[in-house]
Amino acid sequence: MKIFGHRGASGYAPQNTISSVRLALDQGSDGVEIDVQLTKDNEVVVCHDWIIDNVSDGKGKVSDFALVEIKKNDFGSYFLEDFKGEKIPTLSEVLEFFPKDIILNIELKIKGKSRDLVAEKVADLLLFHERIENTIVSSFNHSSLKKIKKLIPEIKIAFLYKRCISTINKDISDFGMDIYSIHINAKCANKEIIKEIHNHNKKVYVWNSNDIETTKKLYDMEADGIMTDFPIDMKNALWKYITNKSKN
């Protein structure tokens, strides 16, 4: 089972920052998940929240800032003073250093009429940085996934689900394109739904698992991976669990 750092290693560093992504890599994560959305001048930045009030010293919507304006805010000290001066990264800045052999999961944050534009901008950056292999693009907005799949047919895409789902068969059938993985809420994960998704030959990634017991259960349910704020803790705990099981 793969361990993905959720928004980097966001339990130890400010989420979706360069420091957080680098830390997730340093901790040996199998993959890293980040969120992207557009600024006022249509630059792709790495940020989960629509407003920056809770993740920086600034206030307002990401979409109301031009890139040069939003870069003036401190995205680190809210988390810990050691991270003071951390800036919001662009997707391009992450792609410049992110290893090609590690999985990068990019979640498209879609709001209003930005659906196609977000997909187009991300596709352009992935092609420019030659970052197609070992990349998963996920979203709750399936239309945006269809758009990026048309632009880059070989890209891996993933359906995201917030609630417990009963329409997985219909969703896969109706989509009409190849889907790599289904990402489900940990509260909804059980052996039956994981088996059902596997029957469609799709990977199952679960978000978020931040406690050891849940991670163990998901391993036993045969989930393909988890997203976690604490990648090193979950990685070490899972290794111990698997090692002990093999001895029995």
* Residue positions annotated with a catalytic role: 6, 48
Rounded Cα distance between 125 and 43, Å, is 11
DSSP symbol at 86: P
Strands 181-185, 44-46: parallel, antiparallel or unpaired by DSSP? unpaired
Q: Are strands 31-38 and 44-46 parallel, antiparallel or unpaired?
A: antiparallel
* Paired tokens of 185: 């809420």
3-class secondary structure for 19-42?
HHHHHHHHCCCCEEEEEEEECCCC
Identify the CA nearest to 108 among candidates 139, 82, 65, 77. 139
Nearest C-alpha neighbor of 42 from the set 70, 69, 60, 63: 63
Between CA 72 and CA 86 the distance in angstroms is 10
Q: Tokens 């790599």 map to which residue?
A: 180
